[in-house]
Amino acid sequence: MIEVQNIGALSTRYFEANIGPKPLIAIFRGKNPEETVQMCRHAWSIGIELVEVPIQGEAGIASFRAARDAAREHGKQVGVGTVLTIDQVRFAVDEGAAFAVSPGLDVDLAQACGERGLPLLPGVATSSEIGSALRLGLVWQKAFPAAQLGPGWITAQLAPFSTVLFVATGGIDASNAAAFLTAGARAVAAGSALSDPEQLAMFEDLPNPVLGTPATAGGDAS
């Protein structure tokens, strides 16, 4: 069992190893199992390594299970999103989720993830939440809701919190993704925009915040 004080190191190792050169996480919410699997396969084919499926309700659970099974066939991984309770953490571990994403920061939930060895990407929207996450060792943090916070929020928060690796999430599409990366986000997370062929082409040319160059499809596999 991994103790809570190691949840930060666990999460850092996981996301640094799996985000890949394309700074993009796919979120497939509200799709039936067949649609979810189809979108997952397309995401993997263009070099997106991390896929999140929110587990809200029975429909979300069914779609996650279908995505997880498809991931195993392709040698990929799928995480669970909108994790709000410890019971959902238990479900995620029992069902083979690779990571968990929560909309906010919950210390008890982080402890449950740490105890079960499940990497966590917690949501933050204030300086207090960022600081609290850092005290748990959680350097990778989800800036949510990103569209409302704006790219300037990322830059402003990185001044005092220079070690944080933000994943801008919420309202991200091809028209604003690059702005968040330029502002200092380590990655962005997008959902419905990835099903739009025109936007998908624009996502192909996202700047890579680590390499300083446009991200290319078909990056290193995890």
Query: What does the pLDDT look like over 15-49, one tens digit per residue?
Result: 999 987 789 999 999 999 999 999 999 889 888 99
**DSSP helix/strand/coil, 49:** coil
The answer to whether residues 175 and 200 touch, using CB atoms and an 8 Å cutoff, is: no
Distance CA 30, CA 125 (A): 24
Q: Do 54 and 27 contact (CB within 8 A), yes or no?
A: yes
Check residue 217 and give its pLDDT: 36
Residue-level pLDDT at 201: 74
pLDDT of residue 47: 87
Which region holds residue 20: left if phi is over 0, alpha if psi is between -120 and 50, else beta?
left
Considering the candidates 73, 142, 198, 204, report the single residue annotated as catalytic. 142
In this prediction the pTM is 0.91
Per-residue model confidence (pLDDT) at position 24: 94
**Per-residue pLDDT, 214:** 53
Predicted pLDDT at 55? 97
Give the residues of the chain that fall short of pLDDT 50: 1-5, 215-222
pLDDT at residue 219, rounded to an integer:
36
Catalytic residue chosen out of the listed positions 31, 49, 52, 76: 52
**CA atoms of 68 and 197, how far apart (whole Å):** 24
DSSP state of 195: G
SS3 assignment, position 39 = helix
> 105: closest CA among 64, 143, 147?
143
**Can 52 be counted among the known catalytic residues?**
yes
Query: Across the chain, which distance is largest between two alpha carbons, in Å?
Result: 45
113 contacts 89 by C-beta, under 8 angstroms:
yes
Q: What pLDDT is stored for residue 212 in this prediction? A: 59
92: its two tokens: 């995620």
